[in-house]
Chains A and B, each alone.
Chain A
C-alpha cells in the first residue's frame, strides 16, 4: 500500500479556490481588451485577423470537445456542420436579402440550429458504431457533404461558391465585431462544456468514454446521451461556420467543407488536453497564431501542413494526454514527493486494523477501513 495519498494539499484549498476565479477574470479582461490593445502593441500587422481566427477555432475546439472529449468518440467530420453553417448563412442572406452589417451576425443562431438538425440523422447513423468504424464513418459523411456542395448547384452554385454580404466596416473597425462575436460564442461553448462536465449528464458521458457497456449497466441512456452531445457540439460549430463565412465573405465547397478543419481541431484539443475545459483553448492559442504566421509568409506557404504533422508526432510521443493533464499529473507527483502537511485528522495512512471486519448489530454499521488489501 502507498503510505501517503498523492492528493496531500501543498497549497491551502481556500487559496486554490480563489486563484481560479481571479485567473478567469484576468483572462476575460485580456480577451476583451485585445481589439483595443492589439493595434497599439502591434501596429501594421494582421494581428486582429489572427485574433479573430484564434477565438473562432478555440470555440470550434471547445465545441468539438463537448462531444469527442467527453465521450471518447473521435469525430473527424465536424467540417460537415462548419460548412453547413457557412452555406446556411450565405443562402439565408441571399434569399432574405440581408445586407445590414449586423444582420448576418443575428442569423448565426439559425445557422447553429440548421447544423444541429443535420447532426441528428448523421449522429443516429454514425453513433451506431464505435472506435475506428465511427471515425471512418464521420470522414465518409464529410466527403458526402463536400460532394453535395459541389453537385447541388441550384443551392450552392457548385464550385463557383456563394458570396456573402460585405459589411461597411473598414480599417481597424472591421475585425472587432467578428472578434467579439467569436468570443461570445467561445464563452457560450465553454459555458456549455463546463455545465456538461459538472452535470449528471456529463458524468454519464465520461462513463461512456471509459466503458460504454458498463455505463449502460448503471442506467446511463448511452444512445440519447451521445446524440445530444453530438448535436450540441454541431450547433456551436454551425454558428462558427456562419461567422467564418461572413468574415471571409464567401464560401466554396473545398473551403467550407475542408478536410483539414477536423485535423486542426483534433490537434488543438489533443495538444491542450482532451476532455478538459481549458485544453482546447490552449491548443488553439498555440496552434492558430503559429499556423496563421506560417501561412502568411509567402516563402513558407503550406508549411503549416508540415507543422501540423510535426505537432501531431510531438503530441503522440511526448504529450499523449495533452499539455494540461500532463502538467496536472506532474504537479500531483511533485506534491506527493513533498512532506505531507495536510493528512486528514485521525487518518493513519497504510495502517490496517487486521482481523476480520468489524460489524455491529443490524441497522448499525461499522465503517470499513480504507485498506482493501495489497495491490
Chain B
C-alpha cells in the first residue's frame, strides 16, 4: 500500500469537512474519488499534499507518517498535486512553467534530462516552449500541468478534477494521459466530478458523501451500483457509512 489515510478528520476554520475518512491507494494504481459537491473530495487531496493538516487521524505514505509535514517536505517525498484548474502561471512561458515543476531540484543536468523526457512525452511543451501559458487552450494547459507534475519524477500524483472545463475531445486526451502516467509507473489519486470519465480509467473507485467514504470497490462495481445515480441527484446511499477499508 502506497498511501493510507486512517480516520482522518480535517477542515477549515471551525468545521470538519472530513469526518473520519479511511482511504487506501495501491502502488501503481489509479484510484478515483467521486461524490457530490461538498463531499470532501478535494479536501482529501489537500490533506495528502500537506496544504491542510488533519486534526485527527493518520496519513501514511510509503510507511511513513506525513500528517504534520509541510507541502514542501511532502513534495520532496514524491507527492505532487495538480490543482483543480488554471494552475499554470499565465504570464510565464510554457517552458518556464514546466521547469518550475523541478524547482526543488538543484542538479541542473538532472532537470535538463527530465525536461527532455517530458518534452518527448508532451511535444506540446517543446513546440510552444516560448509562448505564454495563457495563450494555450484549456486542454493544452492541462497537458502542460501534467508535464510539470512529472518533472519531479513523483511516486504519487494527485489530480483534482482534471476534466473541469474541457470539451469531450480534450477530455478524452487528458484522461488518456492519466492512464499513460500510470503506465510509466506512477500512482494516481484522482478526484472527479465527472464520475463516469474518472471511474472508467480507474482501478479502484471511492464514493464520498458528507465527509465520509460511502462506497468503494472496483470501477465496474461503482459504475454498476444503482445508488450512485441517486447520490448524484441529491439522494443518499442506504445503510451505514463504511469508515474502514475491507
A residues within 8 Å of B by Cβ? 1, 5-7, 200, 203-204, 206-207, 209-211, 214-221, 344, 347, 352, 354-363, 365-375
Residue B57, interface by CB 8 Å: no
B147: nearest chain-A partner, CB-CB:
A368
List residues of chain A with CB within 8 A of the CB of B90: 210
Please judge, given known A-B contacts A357-B176, A372-B124, A372-B136, whether A218 and B100 are in contact too, CB under 8 Å: yes
Q: B87 an interface residue at 8 Å Cβ cutoff?
A: yes
Residues of A within 8 A of B166 (CB): 373
CB of A373 within 8 A of CB of B170, answer yes
Cross-chain contact A372 with B176 (CB below 8 angstroms): no
Most interface-central of A6, A359, A373, A374 (chain B CB within 10 A):
A373
Contact B183–A359 (Cβ < 8 Å): yes
Count chain B CB atoms within 10 A of each CB in A200, A204, A216, A354 and give the residue with the most. Answer: A200
Are A368 and B180 in contact, CB atoms less than 8 angstroms apart? yes
Give which listed residue, B89, B131, B138, contacts A373 with CB less than 8 A.
Answer: B138
Stretch of B7-15, B91-99, B203-211, B219-227 with 4 or more beta carbons under 8 angstroms from chain A: B91-99
Whether B103 contacts A220 by the Cβ 8 Å rule is: yes
What are 14 contact pairs spanning A and B, CB under 8 A?
A6-B131, A206-B89, A207-B92, A210-B91, A220-B100, A357-B173, A357-B177, A359-B180, A362-B183, A368-B122, A368-B176, A370-B128, A370-B140, A372-B139
> Given contacts A7-B131, A203-B100, A362-B183, are A216 and B139 in contact (CB under 8 A)?
no
CB-based contact B137/A375 at 8 Å = yes
Q: Determine the chain A residues whose CB is within 8 A of the CB of B81 once the complex forms.
A: 217
Residues of A within 8 A of B170 (CB): 372-374
- A206-B92 in contact given A218-B101, A357-B172, A365-B121 (Cβ < 8 Å): yes
- What's the nearest-Cβ distance from chain B to residue A68, in Å? 15
**B169 adjacent to A219 (CB under 8 Å):** no
Given contacts A203-B103, A220-B103, A363-B184, contact A356 B176 (CB under 8 A): yes
Task: Indicate if B83 sits at the interface (CB-CB under 8 A).
Answer: yes
Besides the contacts A200-B103, A217-B81, what 20 more A-B pairs have beta carbons closer than 8 Å? Answer: A6-B135, A200-B99, A203-B103, A206-B92, A210-B89, A217-B83, A218-B75, A357-B173, A357-B176, A357-B177, A365-B121, A365-B183, A368-B122, A368-B124, A368-B180, A371-B140, A372-B137, A372-B138, A372-B174, A373-B140
Task: Say yes or no: B185 contacts A362, CB within 8 Å.
Answer: yes
Whether A367 touches B120, Cβ cut-off 8 Å, given contacts A203-B103, A210-B90, A359-B176, is yes
Pair B127/A5 contact, Cβ less than 8 Å: yes
Q: Are A5 and B131 in contact (CB under 8 A)?
A: yes
Contacts of B128 in A (CB 8 A): 5, 7, 370
Distance in angstroms between the alpha carbons of A5 and B123 in the assembled complex: 14
> Interface residues of A: mostly helix, strand, loop or mixed?
loop
> How many chain B residues have a CB neighbour from A under 8 Å?
52
B residues 155-179 in Cβ contact with A at 8 Å? 166-167, 169-174, 176-177, 179
In the complex, which residues of chain A have a beta carbon less than 8 angstroms from the beta carbon of B101? Answer: 218
**Whole-angstrom distance between the alpha carbons of A135 and B176 in the complex?**
46
Of all chain B residues, which has the CB nearest A370? Answer: B124
The reply to whether the CB of B142 lies closer than 8 angstroms to some CB of chain A is yes
Question: Contact at B91–A372, with CB atoms within 8 Å?
Answer: no
Q: Which of B70-127 contact A (CB under 8 A)?
A: 71-72, 75-76, 81, 83, 87, 89-92, 96, 99-101, 103-104, 120-124, 127
Residues of A within 8 A of B180 (CB): 357, 359, 365-366, 368
A5 to B127 CA separation, bound complex (whole angstroms): 9
Hey, which chain B residues are within 8 Å of A367, CB to CB?
120-123
In the complex the two chains form, is A369's CB within 8 Å of B185's CB?
no
Please state if A372 and B89 are interface contacts (CB–CB under 8 Å): no
Q: In the complex the two chains form, what is the Cα distance from A354 to B92 in whole Å?
A: 29
Cα separation A367 to B124 with both chains bound (whole Å):
9
CB distance from B57 to the nearest CB of A (A): 23
List chain A residues, Cβ under 8 A from B137. 1, 372-375
Report yes or no: B91 in contact with A373, Cβ–Cβ below 8 A. no
Contact at A374–B92, with CB atoms within 8 Å?
A: no
Contact B92 A368 (CB under 8 A): no
A217 to chain B, nearest CB (A): 6
Given contacts A356-B176, A370-B123, A370-B124, contact A216 B71 (CB under 8 A): yes
A6 vs B166: C-alpha distance when bound (angstroms): 24
B167 contacts A374, C-beta separation under 8 Å: yes
Question: Nearest chain-B residue to A208 (Cβ)?
Answer: B89
Could you tell me the distance between the alpha carbons of A355 and B140 in the complex, rounded to whole angstroms?
16
Chain B residues positioned under 8 Å from A357 (CB to CB): 172-173, 176-177, 179-180
Q: Are B72 and A375 closer than 8 Å at their CB atoms? A: no
Q: Is B51 an interface residue (CB 8 A)?
A: yes
